[in-house]
Amino acid sequence: MSSNKILTIGILAHVDAGKTSLTEALLFTSGATKERGSVDKGSAITDGLKLEKSRGISIKTSTVDFSWKRTQVNVVDTPGHIDFSAEVDRALSVLDYVVLVVSAKEGVQAHTINLWESIKERNLPCVVFMNKIDRDGADLESVFREVEADLNVSLFALNLGDNGRPDYPCVHALSDLGAIKDSSILEKSLENLADLDETFIHSYLEGNTNNWESNFEKAKGYIDQHLLTPILFGSAKFDLGLTDLLNYLVMCEIENQVHQTDSSSLKVFKIEYHPKFGRMAHLRLYSGEIKNKDLIWSQRLQSEIKLDQVFQTKVGQLTQVGRLEKGEIGMVLSSAPLEAGDVLGRLEYTEAYSDLSESVIGVQAVAKNENDYQGLGEALEYLNIEDPRLDFQWYKDEREFHLKILGPIQTEILQESLLSRFGIDVDFLSPKVIYKETPSDSAEGFVRYWMPKPCWAIMNFLIEPGVLDSGWAFESKVSKNDISNKYQNEVIKAIPWTLKQGIKGWEVSDLKITLLEGTEHNVHSNPGDFLLATPMGLMRGLEAAGTDLLEPMYAFQIKAHQDHLGAVSGDLNQMRAKLDAPEFDGDTFTLTGRVAVAKAMNYSIQFNTSTSGKGRLKLTLDGYEKTEFSEEKVRAYRGVSPLDEAQWILHRRGAFKADER
């Protein structure tokens, strides 16, 4: 490799801020491409899917690379629409640096804040790129103030955008004092530095701030500590600010996770099914090297696996390279069932970050042609491997396909993807909110599984309501002499999948389970007996306790012109939302509160109407809350219920499979 340094950056933004256009412009500016790819014309290299080209939006994370000043830059271009934020979550785990793109016309948008919170949680270094300074109505100073206020950061400008002449937008270097001496952006940047640096504050108060090289050297230390956030101005469309961005990125000292060791270690951040090669794992190599046919340790599978072939994407083309070196991004084929998040090699990486979003909406897929039933199930299994948060469930007894989505755009993309990739025409039934259930009261559930022998598992469980949003907890008061440790472990193993469906058909949460008493038999007991009996005892306890329904809630934040306060408040009152008192800042108001997901699932359309498309709505999943019971909120139990004990025992003992009943 000719480069001395490898840098992996992610380009993140709210949809339509110009993120993919910026990626294409960087490729062109660096000389990696001879022609600039265009989102509008469907020629963007990083939008390789037909759906991306036709819709003009990024759906999947894509990677490209180029060289700039002896630095190899890996670029991870991520989707901007919140419905595809699972892709962003996975990409964030392998980044050294983030470029957060904000439109100079639209400013900070709802998903911009979601992204910033995730960047901050991971403590990733970040530069803000204010794009589209050429657009009519772009107010650079207003958006600068908005970024500071909404992201709660102190910005420091590294260049300065100038759209004073709409027909000739440009950017100025900070050394060009004649053009920028009256800039409020520049003044605020210096003020932010002075607030942090006691030596600089004297120069600032005396007006001795003309040495921009010195100013930047002082600011750089605070940028590295994340006390100042750098911002650059530009336009991907007109090649403005691109060299400034590239020069800044390659200059940064990145504390990444590349390790100085010969031992190979890597992290998988994406799985996709390639039409020719099949299951392909996208990864970043943190140390050592990998080659075709190498063996490497899988921490999840706890075994060595073989890497059959090694690939990279070269200017949009998949190329078999046979070898990857430390710091590089590439793809591998393996017969092992690799998953996103897998770590290969002996080095360990710990990551416990929250997701940008969580699916609380379920849909059912139905093949338009009955002959496509089997093919649809298999296609959805492929898509579920690519995006595990779909949580695809194939209920063969009912011949139903259920999955979770983040929003309606995702359903449209799934529909088009199934048709274009697998040739299957699909309808999705109306989306429904995913409820949970929790015990209404305390009750016991007794189970005695001792016929037909050989079998023996006798237990009595106490089911109690738990604290809201606490999940489940287990305690055993049974002596290891009565039920040995290996059998009690089988009880614990059975709890999570037992709670997937309660007596109202939803996942059971917020409860405490206590094993009060029980016995094993020294001849007839087997581990499988306790695995089989536990669901029967737990479901009996839940049936006796009764369950309440829990519905998911959104926390909302709304920002709009005060003229729209009445209309927005009226919308929220109709949805029975809980409102906090509005806060005012000039002509705008900010309104926060909570509302049920079922009420607000499609509110964004109404909100755009109520605010003439100029407001900002941010919805964040905010736990669950008890809701009123109604029959339409109950769903039938899928598969064989442990409450149907005779059928359950026959099913678990292999007399028949659930879909052969």
What is the full DSSP assignment across 387-438?
A: -GGG--EEETTTTEEEEEESSHHHHHHHHHHHHHHH---EEEPPPEE--EEE
Greater confidence (21 vs 82) lies with 21
The reply to whether domains 361-433 and 437-545+638-660 share a CATH topology is: no
Does 313 or 426 have the greater pLDDT score? 426
- Per-residue pLDDT for 429 more than 80? yes
Q: Is the pLDDT of residue 443 over 90?
A: yes
Q: What is the mean pLDDT of residues 193-214?
A: 86
Which architecture, in CATH terms, is 437-545+638-660?
2-Layer Sandwich (3.30)
pLDDT at residue 496 in the model: 96
Of 118-122, 377-381, 528-532, which range is least confident? 118-122
Mean pLDDT across 312-316: 78
Looking at the DSSP bridge assignments, the partners of residue 525 are none
Residues 398-409 have a mean pLDDT of 86
Name the least confident of 168-177, 378-387, 577-586.
Answer: 168-177
pLDDT(199) > 90: no
Stretch 437-464: mean pLDDT: 95
Q: Name 480's bridge partners.
A: none
343-364 mean pLDDT: 75
Question: CA of 305: how far to CAs of 278, 296, 334, in Å?
Answer: 17, 6, 8
For residues 339 and 333, give the distance between their C-alpha atoms in angstroms, rounded to a whole number: 12
Q: What is the pLDDT of residue 531?
A: 95
Range of 174-188, 211-225, 353-367 with top mean pLDDT: 211-225
Q: Average pLDDT in the 570-594 region?
A: 93
204 has pLDDT over 60: yes
Residue 1 confidence (pLDDT): 43
CATH number of 265-344: 2.40.30.10
Selected residue with higher pLDDT from 287 and 438:
438
DSSP 95: -
Long-range contact set of residues 380-388: C-beta below 8 Å, sequence gap at least 24: 380/418, 382/273, 382/422, 383/414, 383/417, 383/418, 385/271, 385/273, 385/279, 385/339, 386/270, 386/271, 386/272, 386/273, 387/86, 387/87, 388/339, 388/340
Classify domain 361-433 at the CATH superfamily level. Elongation Factor G (Translational Gtpase), domain 3 (3.30.70.870)
What would be the CATH architecture of the domain defined by 549-629? 2-Layer Sandwich (3.30)
Q: Residue 659 pLDDT > 50, yes or no?
A: no
- Cβ atoms of 270 and 340 within 8 Å: the answer is yes
What is the model's pLDDT at position 466?
Answer: 94
Distance set, CA 133 to CA 109, 113, 130, 232 (Å)? 16, 20, 7, 11
Q: pLDDT > 70: what percent of the chain?
A: 89
Range among 217-226, 309-318, 353-362, 386-395 with highest mean pLDDT value: 217-226
**pLDDT of 53 strictly over 60:** no
Percentage of the chain exceeding pLDDT 90: 54
Angle (CA) 526 396 371, round 5° = 150
What is the per-residue pLDDT for 350? 65
Instruction: List the domain boundaries for the chain.
Output: 5-175+228-251, 265-344, 361-433, 437-545+638-660, 549-629
Determine which of 351-355, 518-522, 523-527 has the lowest per-residue pLDDT on average. 351-355
pLDDT tens by residue, 127-177: 999 999 999 889 999 999 999 999 999 999 999 998 888 788 999 988 765
Tokens of 22: 């910026």
Q: What pLDDT does residue 165 have?
A: 83
pLDDT above 90 (res 437): yes
Q: Which of residues 357 and 571 earns the better pLDDT score?
A: 571
In whole angstroms, what is the distance from residue 262 CA to residue 226 CA?
Answer: 32
Per-residue confidence at 181, pLDDT binned at 50, 70, 90? low
Query: 530-548: per-residue pLDDT in tens?
Result: 999 999 999 999 999 999 9
Mean pLDDT of 569-591: 93
Averaged pLDDT of the chain: 87
Instruction: With a cut of 50, say whether residue 660 has pLDDT above it.
Output: no
**How confident is the model over 461-506, as pLDDT tens digits?**
999 999 988 999 999 999 999 999 999 999 999 999 999 999 999 9
Domain 5-175+228-251: state its class. Answer: alpha beta
Prediction pTM value: 0.76
Amino acid making up residue 135: R
Does residue 647 carry a pLDDT above 80?
A: yes
Distances (CA, A) of 157 to 103, 186, 563, 627: 16, 7, 33, 49
Mean pLDDT of 556-585: 93
User: For residue 46, is pLDDT > 90?
Assistant: no
